[in-house]
Amino acid sequence: MKIAAIILATLLNLAYAQDITWYNAQRDTFYISTAEQLKGLSVLVSDGTNGTSNFTGKTIILANNIFLSGNFAPIGNGSTRTFNGTFDGQGYTISGLSVSGVEYAGLFGYVGSNGQIKNVKIIATKIKGTTAAGGLAAYYASSKSIENCSVTADSVTSSGRSGGLVGVSYSSISIIKSYASVNVSGSYSGGLVGYGSGSIEYSYATGNVSGSYSGGLVGYGYGSIEYSYATGNVSNKGSSDSYSGGLIGYSSGIIYIISSYATGNISDTTTATSSSYYSRSGGLVGYAGSTIAISSSYTRGNISAYATNSSNSTAGGLVGYANGTIAISNSYASGTISAINTGTGYNYSGGILGFYNSNDFLYKSVYYNLSGANKAVGSGISTGILGLSSEGLKQRMNFNDWNFDYTWNINEGVSYPYLVVKNKGATLSVPALASKTHNSITINPVIASTGQVVEYTIVTNITSAGNIYIPADITEWKTTLTFTNLNPYTYYYIFARAKENANYNIGRISTYLIVQTDAESNSGNNSSSGLDNSSSSNSYNNSSSSLGNSSSSSAGASQIYPFHLIASNSAIAINNAINLQVQKTARLEIYNLNGKLERTLNFTNGVYKVPLSDLPKGLYIVKVQFGSSGREIIRVPVK
């Protein structure tokens, strides 16, 4: 017995052994190759051993595969003990991960605003937290991208926010070339992210997902999803509101989905007794509360919403419930769609949308399966949507204006259309202004490193989709460098993207160039007033652009007259803009009514008109700091 006890004690000591001897506060880069060293990292961050910081500005590099045993203590355990360095797995695998009995469960419990995780594979058993859980990180507060990461696990669960990769992120998260193969459950649950906004590209999830707000990729959130997919079933059964979607369960913000799909079955049930509760399920999105744009995407699963008593149900092949501007092109849904109510509430189901509560729409070459739904939209307008038989959905000739050379493929008479897997399209620089008049703008050509043809578009309104800006208008992309028939003295936004070809997908939309056409009485060429938004944050500074006599200004702001006439500072709200008078310097911080910082602008001496018309409609709070002393707070309506 004594020998057995000694062996057990030795094994326990080995399981929980930690090594922090590798740490030296004077160094910026560290290499970890053993389980003991990884546990040491957890101790250094979570417990603050030896007076260490949160690794801000430092890099941890994994130098070998690591096998863990026992219950792992996550790296970072709360908002005051966060990991703020860079963790680079170099493609190595951390296996044997198991986490339970903590608030934030994952390899990383809490990643701070300066942290980043990339190039690591995780193989885990069960990951269970009380507040949040994620295979990679329970809480990710950074806007730095997660790249080339994967999680394979039995389950990720919490009573709050759960995700295959990340449980919750309140910053604008970006996930690139990553995946999760894990069953996920929680109040807010997603195959990749439980709760958060941002962008997902070239990523996927394969596990089943369940929760009140549940999605194949994202449970609750908004932003852009490009060239990504989910294959797991999504389900929920509760006694209040419930939302389930093949990619996104619930979104209150703008959604932009391109060349993505979901193949799992979506089922949503509420047993609520009040008519103010809903069951909403969609092949791609359960609930879309704002603008949603979908192109070259599809769903193949069966979609169902079920409500009892006086609660309500809606189900749609692509979207369960939409409450704002919607644009869908070159997309389809092939499954069986149903919305059932056994009580007094309403129920709507449609091959594409269950319920559409607006008239601002565009449907182009959109199809659904006639054997799976008896109408295109359960409640709302359906112009532009066409129903086909199951066999008709397998015939290339029925898909009008679809690109079967580059984007789609089909096994004629055998399979439904499927997306062609190709390389990532080129990322482009911001277009540059060549010249402009009162009714035209000419730009210089942008070159794609992949050799793709570059196309451009020009709009008067833009909107944010997660951490990128996109045209707010339905627009046409052309290869022309000159835009004509424009309005005088008007701001225009110009985007570029790499055009799809046989080897590459469409490139991500570039950051925009903003140009104001001349007044009609001043139509001579002027190549000095084009401004771009190439900053990765919401700062619109551009000190290299010249407006009047100002040496530093902000995108979209036009100087009215030179600095030597300025006698005082002032900021006056006008419709969709601010009239700004600056003696020396000024800094503007623009917030929406939810307290979110929309952008920061900096100015030097001059008088400016600062347009805000590209922001979503609403009331904004603007904090103006003049130099080091004077400060004003004004309210600006955007209509």
- Consecutive H or E run containing 9: helix 2-16
Question: How many structural domains does the chain have?
Answer: 4
Residue 609 has pLDDT above 90, yes or no: no
Look at residue 308 and tell me if it is in a domain: yes
250-307, pLDDT tens digit by residue?
A: 998 888 899 999 999 999 888 877 777 888 999 999 999 888 989 999 999 999 999 8
- Consecutive H or E run containing 527: none
Using 50, 70 and 90 to split pLDDT, how confident is the model at 102? very high
Look at residue 126 and tell me if it is in a domain: yes
Question: Would you give the DSSP letter of residue 519?
Answer: P
Using 50, 70 and 90 to split pLDDT, how confident is the model at 523? very low
Residue 530 has pLDDT above 80, yes or no: no
Quick one: 401 exposed, middle or buried, by C-beta within 10 A (0-12, 13-18, 19+)? exposed
Three-state DSSP at 75 gives strand
Among 471, 498, 531, the domain boundary falls at 531
Q: SS in 3 state form for 408-432?
A: EECCCCCCCCEECCCECCCCCCCCE
Mark residue 221 as left, alpha or beta (left: phi above 0; alpha: psi -120 to 50; beta: remaining).
left
Least confident of 176-190, 526-540, 556-570: 526-540
Residue 563 has pLDDT above 70, yes or no: no
193 and 49 in a common domain? yes
Average pLDDT score over residue span 65-82 = 93
- Tell me which of 107 and 597 has the higher pLDDT: 107
Q: What is the pLDDT of residue 66?
A: 98
Q: What is the CATH number of the domain that holds 477?
A: 2.60.40.10
7-36, pLDDT tens digit by residue?
A: 333 333 444 579 999 999 899 999 999 999
- Tell me which of 257 and 562 has the higher pLDDT: 257
Q: What is the pLDDT of residue 273?
A: 77
385 and 276 in a common domain? yes
| Nearest to 45, CA basis, from 71, 17, 20, 8 | 20
Look at residue 261 and tell me if it is in a domain: yes
Percentage with pLDDT > 70 across the chain: 87
339-352, pLDDT tens digit by residue?
A: 998 888 889 999 99
Least confident of 104-118, 129-143, 538-552, 585-599: 538-552
Cβ pair 553, 604 in contact under 8 A: yes
Average pLDDT score over residue span 605-632 = 80
32 and 162 in a common domain? yes
Look at residue 568 and tell me if it is in a domain: yes
Residues whose CB is less than 8 angstroms from the CB of residue 121 and which lie 6 or more positions away in sequence, other chains included: 89, 91, 92, 93, 94, 149, 150, 152
Query: Average pLDDT of the chain?
Result: 86
* Residue 25: both structure tokens together: 């506060």
Look at residue 46 and tell me if it is in a domain: yes
Residue 635 has pLDDT above 80, yes or no: no
Calpha distance 636→624 (Å, rounded): 12
Calpha distance 423→380 (Å, rounded): 38
Using 50, 70 and 90 to split pLDDT, how confident is the model at 528? very low
- Tell me which of 554 and 480 has the higher pLDDT: 480
408-440, pLDDT tens digit by residue?
A: 999 999 999 999 988 889 989 999 999 999 999
Host domain of residue 455: 432-531
127 and 149 in a common domain? yes
103-154, pLDDT tens digit by residue?
A: 999 999 999 999 999 999 999 999 999 999 999 999 999 989 999 999 999 9
Look at residue 213 and tell me if it is in a domain: no
Mark residue 528 as left, alpha or beta (left: phi above 0; alpha: psi -120 to 50; beta: remaining).
alpha
62 and 177 in a common domain? yes
CB atoms within 10 A of CB 516: 22
Q: What is the pLDDT of residue 239?
A: 76
400 and 303 in a common domain? yes
Residue 238 has pLDDT above 80, yes or no: no
Least confident of 81-85, 366-370, 545-549: 545-549
Calpha distance 463→314 (Å, rounded): 28
Least confident of 69-78, 255-264, 461-470, 538-547: 538-547
199 and 74 in a common domain? yes
Among 378, 393, 421, the domain boundary falls at 421
Cβ pair 105, 158 in contact under 8 A: yes
Least confident of 253-262, 292-301, 492-501, 602-611: 602-611
552 and 632 in a common domain? yes
Q: What is the CATH number of the domain that holds 606?
A: 2.60.40.3080
Calpha distance 203→201 (Å, rounded): 5
Look at residue 567 and tell me if it is in a domain: yes
Whether this prediction's pTM lies above 0.75 is answered by: yes
563 and 509 in a common domain? no
Phi, psi (deg, nearest 5) at residue 420: -80, 130
612 and 515 in a common domain? no
CA angle 167, 180, 57 (to 5 degrees): 60
Q: What is the pLDDT of residue 474?
A: 62
Q: What is the pLDDT of residue 542?
A: 31
Residue 52 has pLDDT above 70, yes or no: no
Average pLDDT score over residue span 515-543 = 51
Average pLDDT score over residue span 233-239 = 87
Residue 535 has pLDDT above 50, yes or no: no
CB atoms within 10 A of CB 201: 21
Q: Which residues pair with 62 in a beta bridge?
A: 32
Among 142, 174, 207, the domain boundary falls at 207
- Tell me which of 628 and 43 has the higher pLDDT: 43
Residue 545 has pLDDT above 50, yes or no: no
Q: SS in 3 state form for 480-518?
A: CCEECCCCCCCEEEEEEEECCCCCECCCCCCCCEEEECC
184 and 62 in a common domain? yes
Look at residue 12 and tell me if it is in a domain: no
Question: Would you give the DSSP letter of residue 550?
Answer: B
Average pLDDT score over residue span 375-395 = 95
391 and 514 in a common domain? no
Using 50, 70 and 90 to split pLDDT, how confident is the model at 534? very low
Q: What is the pLDDT of residue 128?
A: 97
- Give Dmax over CA atoms of the chain in angstroms: 99
* Residue 227: both structure tokens together: 């060239």
